[in-house]
Structures are given as C-alpha cells and as structure tokens.
Amino acid sequence: MSNRRNRAGLFISLVCLAITCLAVCLLLGGYLEVTRRVEAAFGPPSAALNPLQRLRLSAQLTLQQDQLQRATDTRGDSQTFEIPLGQPPLVIAAQLEASGLISDTGAFINYLTYTGLDTSLQAGEFNLSPASTPVEIANILQDATPSEVTLSILSGWRMEEIAETLPTSGLEITPQEFLSAAQNPENISDLPVDFPQNGSLEGYFPPGSYRLPRETNADQLVNFLVAEFNANLTPELLAGISNQGLDVQQAVILASIVEREAILGEEMAMIASVFLNRLAIGMPLEADSTVQYARGFNAEQHTWWTNPLSTRDLQFDSPYNTYLYPGLTPGPIANPSLRALRAVAFPAQSPYYFFRATCDDSGQHTFSKTFEEHLGKGCP
C-alpha cells in the first residue's frame, strides 16, 4: 500500500514537473517570439533594459506597431518644432501629439524607451512633417543640425565676398567651388537674357537671404541665384531697360555701379540719371567704384573696396577704370539690388552730370550741371 502511494506521488510530481517545464518552454518561446518580432520591426532594444522591461515594452509595441509606423497625415504641411534645452521626453511627445505630428504619446514614449532614443533627444529647431511616421520623427530628433541653412548676400557684394561667407554658412561648398561655377556658367540651365558668351555671372546674384538645403552644391546654388535674378525680370522692368537704350547685361553693369556709388537707396534713381546723361554724350563715367573693382583685394585694408583711392589708383590701367576708358565696364562690378536695377530702368529725369558726397557724413550727395558748380560744392 505504501509503495503504491509512493508511486502515485512520484507520478503526480513528474506530471507537475512536466507541466511546469512545458509552461516555462511556452513562456520562453512566447518571450523569444514577441521580442524577435519587435526587434525585426523596430530594431535592437536598449542595452539598459532588463528582460522583464524588454518583454513588457515588446508586448506593448506589438499592439502599437501600426500607430508607430503610419504617418498621421500624408498630405500635411511641414512645420517648425522646437525642443528647449532640458525638456523631458514625455513633454516632447505630448507636444508632438498636440501639433498633429504623432497620434499617440504613450506609443511614442514606449518606442523611445525600447530603443534608448529617449536619452539622446536633441534640443533645437526641427522641420517636421506629419507625413513622417513617429519612428522617423524619433530619429530626426536625434540630430539638431538643421536640414536648411540661411545664406545672406548683401547688396553691392562682388562674388568673391559671397564666396568668403560660404565656410560659415552651413553649406558644404568651398569658396573655390562657388567661384569656379560662377566664372564658368556652362552648367546653368537658364542663363539670363542678353548674357554674353563666355561671360562671368558677376552681377547676377540678387542680394537677399535665402533658405537652402544644407546639401546644396555649387552648381545648384548658382542655378538657384540665377533663377532668382530671372524672376525679377518682369515685362515692366525689361521695357524700362529697353527705353534707356540698354540691354539687360548693360543695365546690370550700370546698376552695379549705381549700387556701389549710392549710399541711400532714395538717391539711386538720381545717380543713375547722371551716368545715363554722361553715356549719352560719350563722357567718361569716372566712378570710383570701378577703380576699386579693378584694383581688387587690398591686403592692408583687408577689403575688396579700397578707400580712399589715391591719384595713383585712378591711373591704374584696366578696362574697368572708367576714369581712363569711356563707356560701361566690360562686366558688372558687383551684385546689385533690384532697387538699383529699377533705378537704371526708371531713372530720374535730370540735367546733372556730376555728383559728390555732402560734407556732413549723412550719405547724401549734391548734384551739379557743370564741373565748375561741382567744384564749388567741395568740402572745406
């Protein structure tokens, strides 16, 4: 009887052990299957997770996979999203949901925690789109380097000055690459009207601030700027240029000189009238800015625009020196603003042939009909 009881007890123990082993195997198999599927969908888990945390997050992510891998709005517009320094991941996720960029804060946090990306979210400004999935957005937030940069070109800069700003612009374009593309525009898809054969694009880079993709290369930048120039050539502007007896290239040349000679924008049309009056009678333009351009970089002053000019400078032999050579320079001397180009197309109607700066450092000029009158307005 005792032996029979012992055998029954042993049998029951073996059955329990078998059931336990089966349960463990099923649980282990389930654990491995769930974690395998989640890892296949979302990548490897964070090394900081223990097995229970990994299992819990894997189970939740299995149910949330569709929300995390589907965009909230495939036709939505991009928007700027800012993360202040020190902002917690839960607050960031809640703001993303409030902005319509993700659909579920909890699912987003689970993904961040599972992957470990919650510890490496970057402070900064991001350009995010609801057409991106939450998984894609989480990865974008790991790099605060903006996808776009701002390039600023000041009125009256020559192209070497534009080139000098490129190393600090955020664009991966060297000054040499830009100058090569600007001086050899064979890769320009739509050259401006009246552009001379084998000409340089000096003068055709409109001043302004431009948002550009960081990966823009030199040819793309030059094409973009030339397209901006072409967009400014309205039928009205072209008609005005033609009415002055100029083609577009000549207008850009004169506008570049006006840009460099004028300090106040409201005087551009009057200064343009002086130069047009001189051209009409074959009188040299005698513009200091053309000599400055011809002289090039002044290492002592560390500028491309030597000031003041000496008597020797004014005798510098160059076709760009309008004290020595009548008519327009061979090409533009700078990149003029649209305002300067419009001043050439629609100049003031004046009898003046001379102008000089006033003596009060206001940036204004006085205008004269004769050389004698011009001399009489000199500073004491």
pLDDT at 91: 97
pLDDT at 164: 97
Q: How far apart are CA 42 and CA 377, in angstroms?
A: 78
Please name the residue that has the structure tokens 């020196």: 321
pLDDT at 253: 98
Q: How far apart are CA 155 and CA 147, in angstroms?
A: 26
The residue type found at 46 is: S
pLDDT at 288: 98
Among the residues of the chain, which ranges form H helices? Answer: 2-42, 51-68, 89-98, 105-115, 134-140, 159-165, 175-183, 218-232, 235-243, 248-261, 268-280, 288-295, 311-314, 338-345, 371-376
Q: How far apart are CA 248 and CA 341, in angstroms?
A: 10
Tokens matching residue 85: 């320094």
pLDDT tens digits for range 180-230: 999 988 888 899 999 998 889 999 999 999 999 999 999 999 999 999 999
pLDDT at 28: 43
Q: How far apart are CA 255 and CA 262, in angstroms?
A: 10
pLDDT at 1: 56
Weakest mean pLDDT among 73-77, 237-241, 258-262, 333-337: 73-77
Q: How far apart are CA 261 and CA 62, in angstroms?
A: 70
Confidence class of residue 144 from pLDDT cuts 50, 70 and 90? confident
pLDDT at 24: 42
pLDDT at 235: 97
Which residue would you say has higher pLDDT here, 306 or 26?
A: 306
Q: Does residue 127 surpass a pLDDT of 50?
A: yes
Q: Does residue 13 surpass a pLDDT of 70?
A: no
The whole-chain average pLDDT of the chain stands at 91
Domain with CATH 3.30.1490.480 in the chain: 37-145
Displacement of CA 300 from its chain's centroid (Å): 32
Sign of the Cα pseudo-torsion (309, 314, 316, 319, in order): positive
Does the domain at 37-145 match CATH 3.30.1490.480? Answer given as yes
What are residue 152's DSSP bridge partners? 209
pLDDT, mean of residues 330-358: 98
Q: Does residue 14 surpass a pLDDT of 60?
A: no
Q: Does residue 29 surpass a pLDDT of 60?
A: no
Q: What is the pTM of this model?
A: 0.73
